[in-house]
Chains A and B, each alone.
Chain A
């Protein structure tokens, strides 16, 4: 049902046909009393808000003038700040001369992500590809073997966001599969354990899990074994992602008819072979759109690590804003950071839509 639309007049009146597109849009905008009211309402809204926004964003903005003084005088946005600070915004306090390294890492991760969500590339060698890529990424970021060494405390910006997302999901994926299977197990202790674990993680805000990880881990572990901030945040993100992925995969498992289990049993496949060869390939394929959504949620969630003191995109933005030479254009900076996240998750969402529309392959 289209709640607010009434059928358009089917027959155009004679003599008006040549106005084609104009007439069509006029009908859409003013064809019914309700549409006329809506047009008026939203017209007023847009006319009052869009021009001032355009003035600030473009017309009165400082676009290329590299001197901070221009920004102090201008009434519009200070985009030259973003341009001047882009390296710091994207890569944080990573050493200036080495910034090509995190840049390559970002491109590599994004390309691999896009490649991996295609069902066609689902094969055991994909996992091998990822492991190889992660080794390469770690070498590029941390250095050694011919590259200058950079400690994790100097990592920052977009690569931190992407690495956290990818590694958390990568580790959480097999854990999530095990949890989903455990939750469907016939053994009561295993099932109850999985339910308690999944539901309590899903019932908690990620921020509280991050806090707990950063507060509790120093108490759980002897000083010598204590991982740094980066790894602690990674552990928290992984636990979080595993619980959500487990539910997504369980959704896929529930879509598999019982006959598949029976057929696998009848040809003599034991439990784990049945899961690996018959059930999981189908279940994961069913769950791909939901998996893509979970990846989006994780990309967005990773922005929370700044609260436990990691140097992600937002913290790099805040650090860049502290430069006293510039008039601290905070709105522009956070708009830019928001735009990066938007671009990442919007394109992923469109990709997920595409997969969903295309439906399961070869069925």
Chain B
């Protein structure tokens, strides 16, 4: 009987499920016994109690008498903020560095190669700690703050940048205009003529002009130097700046390699075929090369973006309170470790799964555009 293929398959699967269930039951029962022995309660009620933990800096407004769930949200917002900024900057820089690596100019290609190799071969945590240790060595005290760009100051106390503030309605309208412009760009990608390429910029320009005419509450708060301190603007602490700069340097190296691989993946034959059809260079690039490149680039780029979210946990090395650091504090403070662990696992899985499903959606889109 045991040698019958189907019976055997069923027996093996049942055995596996039984072993897994027994293992889980053993873990759960020992855990509960351990918790009971130490007098630790279980449940998510603690989330609404005042946390009394200190979060040194936050994107959201947070006070230590706020409840636990708000502390968690604050940490999560910090993680999302860091990840988003790093993703945007490293994508832009990675594009430039990746293409420059293919240049025939040895000075440019060589410098970019050094960047890529350093980023790919050093542990990000060492990079962050190193950058953090440089902070006080390289940057001047507040009184002699550097002013590399108008409105941007750098000193031992971190960066000060102009703050953009707008009311909710304005922000909403801006997001809608951006979304329309993006949709127009997608629509234009598969069409010819002089109108489509102009569609996206036009929508954006009309949107911004409309906002300005409607006298939207949109203002830029420029920092001013008062001799001993800065007034206005937005402070970026050394910790936050280190995380942003370090992870951007690190991720750029990987994005650059992906971009380079994407460019190289489209063979010379495609350019030759385009030329032989009499297409101009720009059209070949837009209609033939880039669609094929995107297909190669998007999947690995997406896993890099997921890596950014994972690497943002390294914030802990320089003391920036990201989600994991906040959760760690909460667990040690409230001793709700089981619940805390479930929140940690759930949040990271949700973040990364939503990122990859967004990428899958985009992947399907470019596949359709291709046809």
A and B touch in the complex (CB under 8 A): yes
Residues of A within 8 A of B (CB): 1-5, 8, 25, 28-29, 35, 38-39, 41-43, 45-46, 186-190, 193, 200, 203-208, 211-212, 215-216, 218-222, 296, 300-301, 303-304, 306-307, 314, 330-331, 333-335, 337-338, 341-342, 345-346, 349
Q: B345 and A3: CB pair below 8 A? A: no
On chain B, the residues within 8 Å of A208 by CB distance are: 313, 324, 344-345, 348
Q: How far is the CB of B14 from chain A (nearest CB, A)?
A: 9
Main secondary structure of the interface of B (DSSP, over half): helix
Report A306 CB to chain B, min CB distance, Å. Answer: 8
User: Contacting A1 at CB < 8 Å: which of B108, B271, B317, B331?
Assistant: B271
Which 7 pairs, one residue from A and one from B, show the smallest C-beta to C-beta distance?
A: A330-B133, A5-B104, A205-B310, A334-B130, A300-B123, A4-B103, A303-B123
Whether B122 lies near A29 (C-beta < 8 A) is no
Q: Is B179 an interface residue (CB 8 A)?
A: no
Q: Are A5 and B103 in contact, with the CB atoms below 8 A?
A: yes
B200: which A residues are within 8 A, CB to CB? none
Q: Are B345 and A219 in contact (CB under 8 A)?
A: no
Contact check: which of B17, B125, B324, B338 meets A211 at CB < 8 Å?
Answer: B324
Any A CB within 8 A of the CB of B229: no
Chain B residues with Cβ below 8 Å from A1 are: 263, 266, 268, 271, 289
Please name 13 pairs of A and B residues whose Cβ atoms are closer than 8 Å in the assembled complex, sorted by A: A1-B266, A4-B103, A5-B104, A28-B106, A190-B12, A203-B352, A208-B348, A212-B345, A216-B341, A330-B133, A331-B137, A338-B126, A345-B122
Q: Is the CB of B348 within 8 A of A203?
A: yes
Q: In this complex, what residue of A is CB-closest to B341?
A: A212
In B270-328, the 8 Å CB interface with A consists of 271, 289, 306, 309-311, 313-314, 316-317, 324, 328
Tell me the smallest distance from the CB of A108 to a CB of chain B, in Å.
23
Selecting from B29-37, B151-159, B191-199, B206-214, the interface stretch reads B29-37
Nearest residue in A to B344 (C-beta to C-beta)?
A: A208
Query: Which residues of chain A have C-beta atoms less than 8 A from B348's C-beta?
Result: 203-205, 208
**Residues of A contacting B118 with CB < 8 Å?**
342
User: With the chains together, A25 CA to B9 CA distance in Å?
Assistant: 68
Question: When each residue 109-137 of chain B gets 1 if its CB lies under 8 Å from chain A and 0 otherwise, what string results?
Answer: 00100000110111111110110011001
Residues B121 and A341 in contact, CB atoms below 8 Å apart: yes
Do residues A39 and B345 form an inter-chain contact, with CB atoms below 8 A? Answer: no
Interface of A is mostly: helix
Instruction: Say whether B341 contacts A341, CB under 8 Å.
Output: no
Q: B13 contacts the other chain (Cβ, under 8 Å)? A: yes
Q: Whole-angstrom distance between the alpha carbons of A203 and B108 in the complex?
A: 36
Q: Is the CB of A38 within 8 A of B107?
A: yes
Could you tell me if B104 and A222 are in contact, using CB atoms closer than 8 angstroms? no
Supposing A4-B103, A331-B130, A334-B130 touch, asked if A307 and B123 sit within 8 A by C-beta, the answer is: no
Given contacts A203-B306, A307-B316, A314-B126, 8 further A-B contacts (CB under 8 A): A5-B104, A29-B107, A193-B20, A205-B313, A208-B324, A301-B123, A330-B133, A345-B121
**Does B226 have its Cβ within 8 Å of any Cβ on chain A?**
no
Q: Which residues of the other chain, B, contact A204 by a CB distance below 8 angstroms?
A: 310, 345, 348-349, 352
The CA of A28 and the CA of B16, in the complex, are separated in Å by 64
Q: Is the CB of A38 within 8 A of B133?
A: no
Is there an interface contact between B99 and A42, defined as CB atoms closer than 8 Å?
Answer: no
Which B residues are CB-close (under 8 A) to A42? Answer: 105, 107-108, 111
Number of A-B contacts (CB under 8 A): 168
Given A207-B314, A215-B331, are A303 and B126 also a contact pair (CB < 8 Å)? Answer: yes
Q: Of B129, B311, B337, which is within 8 A of A216 by CB?
A: B337
Residues of chain B lying within 8 A (CB to CB) of residue A29: 105-107
Q: Are A334 and B126 in contact (CB under 8 A)?
A: yes
Instruction: Report if A331-B134 is in contact (Cβ < 8 Å); known contacts: A300-B122, A303-B126.
Output: yes
Q: Which residues of A contact B314 (CB under 8 A)?
A: 207, 304
Interface centre among B13, B122, B134, B352, by most A CB within 10 Å?
B122
In the assembled complex, how far is the CB of residue A206 from the closest CB belonging to chain B, in whole angstroms?
Answer: 7
Q: Is the CB of A3 within 8 A of B108?
A: no
Q: How far is the CB of A191 from chain B (nearest CB, A)?
A: 10
Report which of B16, B340, B349 forms a contact with A200, defined as CB distance below 8 A. Answer: B349
Q: Is the CB of A338 within 8 A of B104?
A: no
Distance of A193 Cα from B102 Cα, bound (Å):
44
Q: In B330-361, which residues have CB < 8 Å from any A CB? A: 331, 337-338, 340-341, 344-345, 348-349, 352-353
Q: Which of A4, A38, A46, A207 contacts B324 (CB under 8 A)?
A: A207
Question: Chain B: which residue is nearest A204 at the CB level?
Answer: B348
Contact B13 A187 (CB under 8 A): yes
Report Cα–Cα, A134/B364, bound state, in Å: 48
Q: Within 8 Å CB of B183, what residues of A?
A: none
Query: Interface readout for B2-42 with A: 1 if CB under 8 Å, 0 if not?
Result: 00000001001100110010000001001100110000000
Q: Kindly state the separation between the CA atoms of A207 and B314 in the bound complex, as whole angstroms.
A: 8
> How far does the Cβ of A266 sit from chain B's closest Cβ, in whole Å?
17
Cα of A112 to Cα of B344 in the assembled complex, Å = 38
Q: Does B90 contact A (CB under 8 A)?
A: no
| Closest residue on chain A to residue B348 by CB atoms | A204
Q: Give chain B nearest CB distance to A322 CB in angstroms.
A: 14
* B78 contacts A by Cβ under 8 Å: no
Cα distance A25–B306 when bound, in Å?
41
**Provided the pairs A3-B102, A38-B108 are in contact, do residues A203 and B121 lie with their beta carbons within 8 angstroms?**
no
What A residues does B51 contact at CB under 8 A?
none
Q: What are the residues of chain B within 8 A of A211 when measuring CB–CB?
A: 324, 328, 344
Q: What B residues does A187 contact at CB under 8 A?
A: 9, 12-13
Check if B74 is an interface residue, CB within 8 A of chain A. Answer: no
Contact A193 B121 (CB under 8 A): no
- Closest-by-CB residue of B relative to A215 is B337
A2 touches B103 (CB 8 A): yes
Contact assessment for A341 and B106 in the assembled complex, using a CB-CB cutoff below 8 Å: no
Is B252 an interface residue when CB atoms closer than 8 A count as contact?
A: no
Contact B16 A190 (CB under 8 A): yes
Enumerate chain A residues within 8 angstroms of B341, measured Cβ to Cβ.
212, 215-216
Instruction: Tell me the complex Cα distance, A28–B105, Å.
Output: 5
